[in-house]
Amino acid sequence: MSQLSELLSPSAILLDADAADWREAIRRSGKLLVSIGATGPAYTEAMIRTVEEHGPYIVIAPGFALAHSRPDESVHRTGMSFVRLAEPIAFGNAANDPVTLVMALAAADSSAHREALAALAGVLADPARRSLLDEARTREDVLAALASDGAGPGERSAEDSRSGAEAGTDTGSGTGALVDADAVPSKKLLLTVCGNGLGTSLFLKNTAEQVLERWGWSSHLDVQATDTISAKGRAKDSDAILTSGAIADTLGEVGVRVEVIENFTSQAEIDAALRRIYAV
């Protein structure tokens, strides 16, 4: 079983739940975290405030939202919950609405859950495995879909496999391949940014690193996940920022290129963004 399955207990899974709006959908997922002893009720309200403050950036893939907030005294241990909604709900994210799946993440620290998010990225990027989540009839079906073999986080979907070939460009190798002759020299740092620096930004970091590994650039570029406040201070030291549209609006002008990513599970979309950044 992956760490993802270990963090999601059967009792933290709710199928075909009714919810009037996105706040109630998050409250449903937060109530499950409370029921398994992962959080106190205050964490649920913190997840809602995060969206109110930063916008619907938690909707990171079509139909999927990853609710979360910062670690605080209301987080007792790292855990996750899974809610499938009976009816799709709009969160306000034009690219990925409406949402049918809501997973809530409570992180006791900034790193313990990274492996779980990498595994989740692999599930959502694989149409067959995502379909299993949409069609699951029991809690056991959900856990099986999350743990099943398939195109994991290090493997590419058919769309992502085509992206490199269709670009018709050799990414090259070595530090000299990071920029073309007319580009600004690379600082060898990319930032992925979300409201708290430990949920969706880690998700995006994982997918970006998969693309760089495919290019052979992993040893030449450091991808770091951070929050909006830190990103504003560190932007000048980076080549660019990858983030959602909602967070890009929050950041405003930071002095470096900001690439908006709609689907955080899509290697093809991030591949295209990196090609724009590095002119390859």
Q: Nearest-CA neighbor of 241 among 187, 166, 169?
A: 187
Q: What angle do CA 74, 78, 83 make, to 5 degrees?
A: 90
Q: Give, for 226, the enclosing helix (H) or strand (E).
A: strand 222-227
Write down the residue that tokens 């909006």 correspond to.
228
The catalytically annotated residue of 68, 76, 113, 220 is 68
Which residues are registered as beta bridge partners of 102?
Answer: 65, 83
SS (H, E, C) 77-127: CCEEEEEEEEEEECCCCCCCCCEEEEEEEECCCCCCCHHHHHHHHHHHHCH
Catalytic site includes residue 113: no
Catalytic residue positions, numbered: 68
